Structure 1
């Protein structure tokens, strides 16, 4: 009888513990939908933080699918805001967790996000390779997975813009996407390509008309509406209707601001500036150009101050946890490998004892090189501090000393544009040293607004892409 009561008691305790765990388990479907809603509203930082919590909770509940889903979604958001290095690191984490024989939806999203990052980094061949993998995977799966194909085709088409094939291949894949599922947004995208690449205004008008007809029939997502307005504005700008173009651009800006698509706002500011320039209204043109420059810097600062550190810390923590897990599962293999290596070492030592002198000499040489490396690093650190102090003092010898310490920076800049003058090289050197706009203004005794104007002119002279962070570009030169 006693044993029977013990069994019943054990069952009740187990049931209560299990029930408590189940009641604490979050509603992941709700969290996924909420994340989608935040992304739609442009609240990308909030979406990232939501995913942090979801991943941490899923790890405690041993839900590998939700953890890998969270990593892929964070990679997707980071790609959208231009943080491609961190995005790729999250994708690598997800790749180690996704069950390739079961989680096909995550596998497709993983491959397409690799492709998006490589396309944004202008590594077109790699991007197209990953799009091909994701498309081939979709085609081998049941029809329920084919809903990925339209977006994969349109994004693959965009990746071709940085290849020798350019517009022809781009349009082929956009039309493949339209054939599966047409909408006003896709026709507007086609119109934009015609306007941007070969100025085929008649073709652009044809596709804009198709876009308008579909808008009358079907509802359009808010973000897509802003793109359609941009395409219509670009068309009016191309045929000289600058006032109409500006009006449409401003409608697009209102929408983009409402969903916090600030990168779109930045682009449209530049387009409005160009339209006012065509109208010879230089004051308004300069006003929007300054808005464009200020928003570019603001986006970079906002990321660094508000979310950059959080993402970096969380990512480091995830990578650390993943590595610990890998070590745990591979402990036995490592032990066997060490035993095997130990046996080989003993055998080699026994049969090649005479060569021990050579080994010692090699070790001594390695130690010597390590000491030299330490000394070199110390010298470089001292030189760096000297250069920074010269810059802060606005010393005339700053540029000369900078070129002595970092000779390749100015050489490479002059290869891009041999007409750069010393003042521009000094400005580039300060950016390379990672001085903020405020610091540069303070050290060179100029206004912060002048610094922003200089940055914009420098972008023009060095042909730095609009979506490229000037600090990252110059650091990489």
Structure 2
């Protein structure tokens, strides 16, 4: 009996040993798996932080080609890691930079690619970032309701995300963007609350600028001045990006123009133009506002020539008529797309997706495109009317100036007349290259339809002398006797 118990005891002991060994093995297995999983999650987190931080720095510095190269390298890295969401972030970066540069067709292409890779992401920060960028896209297209809807989705996902450096950086920008969309909708009270919340969280040169922009928008320059001073201080004491500095200088120019300090306004706006030379490939959407502000500044200063110049520049920028603006950017973008075609070597299953998305880009809704084109045409027509009106005003002012010079018998009359009517003088010299300056001056006065008596009074000669000059000019220019001399000069150009 005792022997039997001893055997049972040994069996139980062996059984317990096996259980302990199995438990240890399972623990080691799950521990190893967990460590591997934690390591992989950490690798993905490092990927996100490095990609998004470095991309943002390059974009805000206007270094487009370096920006593209960086995202190509991370796209390949994500493929090797089998990190689908990482690829989505690369596409999202490309979408964002094209939105900022106004290249909306390519932006839509990359948004479609990003959405496919991020739609099933378990990382809610990814989705928050996606909807934030998409809200900016709709805002650029003046579709504020869609922009607000995407902004709300971005908030929804960001509230579920754990607190990190990336989420802390995104949150204030979501508030600022919401403030912009609500301001355009006319919901000013809600807009101010959003701007104030964003500024309280970030308190940067940019967020203080947006507070100033709000008060300028509602015509309260005294309140705007408080935040202009804060933005200027932040820009001087903190490291601000080129794009952020551009926005500060533009807002300062806008403010100084409102308070009639034309010298400071011109200085700030010219500084914004200078920065734009560097950032125009990644952020060109701001520059039209700078041109418009300069046009308004010079209009206030009664400098019609410069006002017309900058209004025309604004119209060109708004209408997107100069295709060369995208030349450098599109060249780099095409190289990025060529990398996508090679993606079949990394993930062959993505090739049908690439083809499908390419077809989607080419078959954008006709109604949407027509609506967009009609809106742009209407805006272009309005701007053209403003430009033509300003051009007429400039010419009228110049005409008054040269008329006044003629009446005062000023020696600079002919020089100023040539600036306003260069083709007229050219036509006279083609008829008779030997015309003297005194004769050209006399012809210019006839072009302005001065009577013989007026010419005599202004040039201090006898009325008979003016009649004799008219006779000589007819002979010098071969003007037929039956032709009215005033009509001849009127129709010459």
TM-score by length of 1: 0.56
Q: Secondary structure at the match of 2:203?
A: coil
Contact 2:250 2:272 in 1 (8 A): yes
Contact 1:90 1:315 in 2 (8 A): no
Q: Which has the higher contact order (CA 8 A, sep 6+)?
A: 2
> CA–CA distance in 1 between the matches of 2:326 and 2:232?
40
Structure-1 residue corresponding to 2:363 = none
* 1:175 maps onto 2:175 in alignment: no
Structure-2 residue corresponding to 1:193 = 214
Which residue among 302, 311, 325 is the counterpart of 2:349?
A: 325
* 1:70 maps onto 2:70 in alignment: no
Deviation digits for residues 313-372 of structure 1 (CA, Å, limit 9, x no counterpart): 86598599699727999xxxxxxxxxxxxxxxxxxxxxxxxxxxxxxxxxxxxxxxxxxx
Which residue among 281, 285, 295 is the counterpart of 1:273?
A: 295
* 1:224 maps onto 2:151 in alignment: no
- What is the root-mean-square deviation in Å for CA atoms of aligned residues? 3.9
Deviation digits for residues 248-290 of structure 1 (CA, Å, limit 9, x no counterpart): 2112222332444444344323322221121111223234345
Deviation digits for residues 89-147 of structure 1 (CA, Å, limit 9, x no counterpart): 32222222227453333222111111111111122222111111111211122222343
Structure 2 unaligned spans of 5+: 1-45, 354-369, 389-493
Q: Secondary structure at the match of 1:102?
A: coil
Contact 1:195 1:201 in 2 (8 A): yes
The structural deviation recorded for 1:228 is 2.0
Which residue among 160, 174, 180 is the counterpart of 1:152?
A: 174
The structural deviation recorded for 1:455 is 9.7
Contact 2:312 2:387 in 1 (8 A): no
Structure 1 unaligned spans of 5+: 1-26, 330-407, 418-427, 429-453, 462-477
Deviation digits for residues 201-231 of structure 1 (CA, Å, limit 9, x no counterpart): 2221232233345456544333322222222
Contact 1:293 1:456 in 2 (8 A): yes
CA shift in 2, pair 1:107/1:255, >3 Å: same
> CA–CA distance in 1 between the matches of 2:224 and 2:56?
32
* 1:113 maps onto 2:133 in alignment: yes
The structural deviation recorded for 1:416 is 6.0
* 1:137 maps onto 2:167 in alignment: no
Structure-2 residue corresponding to 1:308 = 330
The structural deviation recorded for 1:238 is 0.9
Q: Secondary structure at the match of 1:140?
A: coil
CA shift in 2, pair 1:316/1:220, >3 Å: closer
> CA–CA distance in 2 between the matches of 1:295 and 1:130?
27
Structure-2 residue corresponding to 1:98 = 118
* 1:245 maps onto 2:269 in alignment: no
CA shift in 2, pair 1:88/1:291, >3 Å: closer
Structure-2 residue corresponding to 1:338 = none
Contact 2:78 2:84 in 1 (8 A): yes
Contact 2:78 2:87 in 1 (8 A): yes
The structural deviation recorded for 1:57 is 5.7
* 1:89 maps onto 2:16 in alignment: no
CA shift in 2, pair 1:130/1:180, >3 Å: same
For this pair of structures, how many residues does the alignment match? 317
The structural deviation recorded for 1:295 is 5.9
Contact 2:292 2:311 in 1 (8 A): yes
TM-score by length of 2: 0.55
Q: Which moved more, 1:316-325 or 1:83-92?
A: 316-325
> CA–CA distance in 1 between the matches of 2:224 and 2:95?
34
Contact 2:92 2:110 in 1 (8 A): yes
> CA–CA distance in 2 between the matches of 1:459 and 1:301?
23
Q: Which moved more, 1:221-230 or 1:208-217?
A: 208-217
Deviation digits for residues 438-469 of structure 1 (CA, Å, limit 9, x no counterpart): xxxxxxxxxxxxxxxx99515879xxxxxxxx
CA shift in 2, pair 1:328/1:269, >3 Å: closer
The structural deviation recorded for 1:152 is 0.8
The structural deviation recorded for 1:76 is 0.9
